[in-house]
Amino acid sequence: MQGGDQSARADPRERTAAAARAHEQGLAVQREERRRRGAFYTPPELVEWVLDRALAGLPAGAPVLDPACGAGHFLVAAARRVGVAAVHGSDLDAEAVAIARERLAAEDPSVPPEQIAAQVVVADGLEAWAGRRFAAVVGNPPFLGQLRRRTAGQSEGSRRGLGAYTDTSAVFLHRCLDLVGDDGVVALVQPLSVLAARDAGPVRAAVAERGAITDFWCSPRPVFDGTPVLTCVPVVRVGAGPATDPDDWGALAAPSFGIPDTHLPARSGVVGDLATCTADFRDQYYGLVPFVHDDPAGTPLVTSGLIDPAELRWGSAPTRFARQPYDAPSVDLAALRADGRLAGWADARLVPKLLVAAQGRVVEAVVDEAGAWLPSVPVLSVVPHDPADLWRLLAVTLAPPVVAHAAARYLGTGLTPGSVKVSARQLAALPLPADGTAWAEGAGLAQRAQRAAGADRTELLLETARVMTAAYRGSREVLAWWSHRGLATQLPESS
Ligand SMILES: C[S@@+](CC[C@H](N)C(=O)[O-])C[C@H]1O[C@@H](n2cnc3c(N)ncnc32)[C@H](O)[C@@H]1O
């Protein structure tokens, strides 16, 4: 008899779980609708990983919330730990909410359906639950760049005093910090960009103010069906310490991406102490278009693709600028000056400097000793206060501990997670080495590397990297990591 009871009880659970799958598959077919709602559902193993941390030690009956619950994957799994009467959820999708309610009813038929309906509601998760306190908030809120979410009114981000471009998922994280009491846990799936995106900065700062990340999950591969977005889960415990540095969340994910651990104290100063780091923008990009032509004897226009570590491939490799192919893109300086609009800009850039590709497998920079080249957006210019520092700065960009530090710190902001992306501001914040003697040696080697060619240059680059690893007291592991990545850029097919 008892066995019969159990299978009868198992049936509604299976039936309602199937309804959830059917609902999700329906959404998967309506790809546009799914993207609009940000409805990509969480794999069961990840749900269990989150609950193992967020609900650890919670007694039955401890209140738990999923503010964007969809068809209830987190709610059902949480109900098996704290009881159906303790789980709460909201979603804008009424059909998904109906399925979540049915699944919970099937989990425990003793809880009245009206009670479940009051706990799991069709509502905006950013608005509902004001004044409530939960022991844990879990889930996988929608990832929607605010540009797509902005309607006639204000975006959620601006409503909460965050940047207008803050992803909805980070706005949910911010909101949910208010919905747990002391020692409560917020564990929400986030896009990897939350680690370093500038617009998520205030959310990371709020996490540091309120508690600490006590566990962290991330995957170097996509785990959600139907989207290539990489994800992570920072498990935030309110009231816990020590606070997680809002500028260093990337370090949490670095091991998953094979980036060696580097702790670089900024005691010896930063690049910004020696040089001004600048990015150019659309005015320069579009302003240059009428003045650029192919001319191997002209003033080189340097695109990111032409910069390799300590090497400029201008004139020896083809490139593109403003959607046109060029063999040797050059700026007609006479015409540019006659026009006047970018004359001041060109004069400011035509000085001894370092040009840095904004993104690459390693930090890619080259010295323009004569001050004869112009950067094309998004190439960064590093102009030393004293030109004697040019090669020392190049050596810093070739230092494996610096590159690993940048790769970890700015993880998730690049086009591909494997690439190292730096902005002008981030470049200025890169630390200088503690060991001045090794640094001077590295600068000499970097200079020789840029002047050499072929195998000699590769040898000298490796030697520079070895000496600069020592200058930062870095490990052999970080040197090996850089060599693997740095030398891959020497192959002709990558740029
Ligand atoms: C990525 S799905 C996650 C569903 C569920 N948490 C899971 O992991 O399977 C995101 C859900 O957020 C819902 N959603 C979008 N905007 C919302 C909002 N402002 N408030 C509540 N739910 C929202 C969508 O309808 C969708 O069901």
Nearest Cα residue to 351 out of 329, 384, 378, 376? 384
Task: Determine the pLDDT at residue 112.
Answer: 97
- Residues 55-85: pLDDT tens digits? 999 999 999 999 999 999 999 999 999 999 9
Strands 134-139 vs 64-66: parallel, antiparallel or unpaired = parallel
CA distance 57 to 59: 6
Task: Please state, as a whole number, how many other Cβ atoms lie within 10 Å of the Cβ of residue 166.
Answer: 26
Task: For residue 262, give the amino acid letter.
Answer: T
Query: Among the atoms of ligand 1, which is closest to the Cα of residue 128?
Result: 20
Q: Is 363 helix (H, G, I), strand (E, B) or coil?
A: coil
Task: Determine the pLDDT at residue 152.
Answer: 36
| Cα–ligand 1 centroid distance for 1 (angstroms) | 40
Quick one: how far is CA 171 from the chain centroid? 16
- Exposure string over 138-160, b if 16+ CB within 10 A, otherwise e: bbbbbbbbbeebbeeeebbbbeb
What CA dihedral angle connects 229, 168, 410 and 228, to 10 degrees?
Answer: 0
Ligand 1, from 23, 41, 42, 92: best to mutate by most atoms within 8 Å of Cβ? 92
- Residues 80-114: pLDDT tens digits? 999 999 999 999 999 999 999 999 999 999 999 99
| Cα–ligand 1 centroid distance for 150 (angstroms) | 17
410 Cβ closer than 6 Å to some ligand 1 atom: no
Using CB atoms within 10 Å of the CB of residue 267, give its burial: 0 to 12 exposed, 13 to 18 middle, 19+ buried: exposed
Question: What residues does CATH 3.40.50.150 cover in the chain?
Answer: 2-257
CA distance 424 to 352: 17
Q: What's the farthest any 2 CA atoms get from each other in the chain?
A: 95
Class of domain 266-488: alpha beta
Question: What residues does CATH 3.90.220.10 cover in the chain?
Answer: 266-488
37 Cβ closer than 6 Å to some ligand 1 atom: yes
Q: Is 186 helix (H, G, I), strand (E, B) or coil?
A: strand
CA distances from 477 to 407, 420, 446, 484 (A): 15, 18, 21, 11
CATH topology of domain 2-257: Rossmann fold (3.40.50)
Give the DSSP H or E segment for 440: helix 436-451
**Entry field: residues in the chain:** 495
- DSSP-derived letter for residue 432 is P
Q: What is the mean pLDDT of residues 270-293?
A: 96
- Residues 114-134: pLDDT tens digits? 999 999 999 999 999 999 999
- DSSP-derived letter for residue 86 is G
